[in-house]
Amino acid sequence: MNLLTLRGKVLANTVKRITLFDGSFQTAYKIKSFTVVPQDITTQEGVFMKILTEETAHATGWFWAKQTEVGWAQYGAPISSRFGEYNRVDRDALIVEDLYLDATADTGEYVNYMIELEKVKVSDYVGALAMVRNNSQSV
């Protein structure tokens, strides 16, 4: 298994591009895990982030029906009157090109992220199909 860990920070209320495309349509990535936390961990700030497969303007909200959204995570938002962590990823999604991270935070500061990916080899045909799926060709 060929694993890749991405970690860094995204300014709240912005979208950040993560370059993955290596020029080959036979290289793809599967998301294994996705975690977010606020930059200042001493606060109870709510932070939210989603992983997208195409660039969009910043938008609050998660839209699981959109093919271009493939990962969702939050930290610190009230869950039944307590603060906690939540994350989900579409384990079937194949990422052939780049990822985009859309971050939201209560105070507008940076949101830390960690994404674990598995690098996989695919045929040109499967790579092309994944690109169509990842570029909002369906809703």
Between 2.60.120, 3.40.50, 1.10.3470, 3.30.70, what CATH number should domain 2-134 receive?
Answer: 2.60.120
Model-level pTM?
A: 0.86
pLDDT recorded at residue 139: 45
pLDDT over 90 (residue 112): yes
Q: Give long-range contacts, CB 8 A cutoff, 24+ apart: 132-135.
A: 133/67, 133/93, 133/94, 134/53, 134/54, 134/67, 134/68, 134/70, 134/93, 134/94, 134/95, 134/96, 134/97, 135/53, 135/54, 135/68
For 27-82, the pLDDT digits (tens) are 999 999 999 998 887 777 789 999 999 999 999 889 998 989 999 999 885 555 55
pLDDT band at 123 (very low <50, low <70, confident <90, very high): confident
Domain map (residue ranges) of the chain: 2-134
Report the pLDDT averaged over residues 123-133.
68
